[in-house]
């Protein structure tokens, strides 16, 4: 059980890269990269988890109550924002490639442009 | 699957298996699930409320303890939006005459009713970011989602009232610039960059956290505008035919 969450993170990471390697569509490729990046959320939140602890928010909980690690949570927030910006840029590039070459298959594009 | 892909899959599988094994081996030495002993998190959980009057410790880290990083993060978002705009906003015919009506009255009614609800949820998440779960990033995204709902429920023409570059670009710029301005204001006052200058207020109320409240709203404006610029650019390049289309 202790290794399950780490295992899920490794699995999501590997399956995302596998999808990117065999991808035949740039949109699919971008989504695979997002899947790969999602593994970092799982890993970060797993690292910071504590049994029996609540959220690091002390609005209606007494200060000093056990809480999960807030630092990794704010890192995850940064991670999500970076993920959004990266996917936006990649999708814009994919649109541009489609406009230039009329295809979204990475293999066809590379044969067209040498 | 083409033969080329099958070859790739055969090469990738053992390499990825090896990678997963190494990762798994490395992580097996990490603290067991649920037994994290990081000192910084505990320290911040204990000091954020007395020191910064913010009951949401994650937001306090994002906008105060790690506020400088968040400025960089905000400009990553800004730069990528500029990149998307540079790639997609060229040679396009400005148009407002495209009609793309939504046929179903039920969808129209429900969607338009939901716009207000989603907008309020987004503003609430942003406003109470220092008190309860939420914050400028999360609230900004949901506010942008409410505006996108206008397009989904009411069609292209009502959406044009919001999804205009001349309207969104200033918001994006102001959102990004005011974060830096708040940092510089601290410098001018003789304190370190992004120092929390204002009165900290009462914990658990809207007016808590001092400068963090303003930074939070700057980020909310920036994120909402940046998301809407992205949606607008992708939507326009999909809906409006390009002049140089082949």
Rounded to whole angstroms, how far apart are CA atoms A56 and A63? 10
Contact B36 A13 (CB under 8 A): no
Cβ atoms B204, B60 nearer than 8 A:
no
Cβ-based contacts of B17 with chain A (< 8 Å): 14
Which residue in the set A13, A48, A85 is minimally distant from B41, CB to CB?
A48
Q: Across residues B145-155, what is the average pLDDT? A: 89
Is the pLDDT at B244 greater than 50, yes or no?
no
Tokens coding B54: 């913010």
pLDDT on residue A101 = 82
Beta-carbon contacts of residue A8 (< 8 Å; ≥ 6 apart): A42
Q: Is the pTM above the cut of 0.90?
A: no
So what's the ipTM on this one? 0.86
Residue in chain A closest to B223 (alpha carbons) equals A81
Tokens coding B145: 């989602």
User: Chains A, B: CB contacts under 8 A, how many?
Assistant: 164
Cβ-based contacts of A102 with chain B (< 8 Å): 246
Contact A92 B87 (CB under 8 A): yes
Cβ atoms B6, A109 nearer than 8 A:
no
Contact B38 A69 (CB under 8 A): yes
Dump pLDDT digits (tens) for A30-69. Answer: 999 999 999 999 999 998 888 888 888 888 888 888 889 9
pLDDT on residue B246 = 40
Task: Say which residue the tokens 């090469």 belong to.
Answer: B11
Q: CA torsion, points B130, B134, B140, B143, in degrees to nearest 10? A: -120
Test mutation, A81, A101, A103, A107, chain B, max B CBs within 10 A: A81
B204: left (phi over 0), alpha (psi -120 to 50) or beta: left
Rounded to whole angstroms, how far apart are CA atoms A56 and A71? 10
pLDDT on residue B93 = 54
Q: How far apart are the first and last CA of chain A?
A: 50
Helical (H) or strand (E) element with B213: helix B211-239
Q: How far apart are the first and last CA of chain B?
A: 30
Task: Say which residue the tokens 């699995």 belong to.
Answer: A11
A107 CA: distance to closest CA in chain B (Å): 10
Which domains does chain A possess? 4-50+68-113 (1.10.287.3510)
Rounded to whole angstroms, how far apart are CA atoms A101 and B79? 26
Dump pLDDT digits (tens) for B167-225. Answer: 899 999 999 999 999 999 999 988 888 888 887 888 888 878 888 999 999 999 999 99
Q: Across residues B125-147, what is the average pLDDT? A: 92
């Amino acid at each position: 059980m202790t290794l399950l969450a780490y295992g899920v993170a490794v699995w999501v990471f590997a399956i995302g890269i596998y999808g990117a390697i065999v991808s035949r569509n740039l949109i699919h490729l971008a989504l695979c990269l997002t899947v790969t990046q999602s593994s970092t959320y799982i890993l970060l939140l797993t690292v910071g988890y504590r049994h029996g602890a609540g959220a690091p928010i002390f609005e209606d909980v007494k200060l000093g109550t056990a809480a999960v690690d807030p630092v990794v949570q704010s890192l995850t927030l940064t991670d999500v924002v970076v993920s959004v910006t990266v996917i936006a840029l990649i999708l814009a590039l994919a649109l541009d490639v489609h406009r230039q070459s009329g295809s979204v298959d990475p293999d066809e594009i590379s044969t067209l442009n040498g | 699957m083409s033969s080329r892909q099958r070859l790739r899959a055969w090469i990738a599988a053992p390499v990825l298996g090896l990678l997963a094994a190494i990762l798994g081996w490395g992580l097996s030495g990490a603290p067991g699930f649920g037994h994290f002993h990081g000192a910084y998190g505990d320290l911040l959980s204990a000091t954020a409320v007395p020191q910064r009057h913010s009951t949401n410790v994650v937001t306090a880290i994002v906008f105060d303890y790690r506020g400088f990083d968040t400025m960089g993060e905000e400009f990553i978002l800004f730069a990528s939006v500029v990149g998307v705009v540079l790639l997609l906003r060229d040679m396009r015919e400005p148009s407002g005459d495209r009609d793309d009506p939504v046929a179903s009255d039920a969808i129209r009614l429900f969607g338009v009713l939901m716009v207000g609800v989603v907008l309020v949820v987004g503003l609430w998440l942003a406003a109470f970011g220092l008190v309860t779960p939420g914050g400028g990033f999360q609230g900004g995204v949901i506010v942008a989602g409410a505006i996108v709902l206008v397009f989904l429920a009411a069609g292209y023409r009502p959406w044009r009232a919001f999804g205009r570059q001349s309207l969104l670009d200033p918001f994006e710029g102001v959102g990004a610039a005011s974060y830096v301005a708040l940092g510089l204001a601290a410098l001018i006052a003789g304190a370190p960059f992004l120092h929390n200058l204002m009165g900290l207020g009462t914990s658990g109320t809207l007016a808590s956290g001092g400068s963090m409240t303003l930074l939070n709203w700057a980020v909310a404006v920036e994120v909402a505008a940046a998301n809407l610029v992205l949606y607008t650019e992708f939507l326009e390049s999909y809906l409006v035919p390009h002049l140089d289309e082949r």
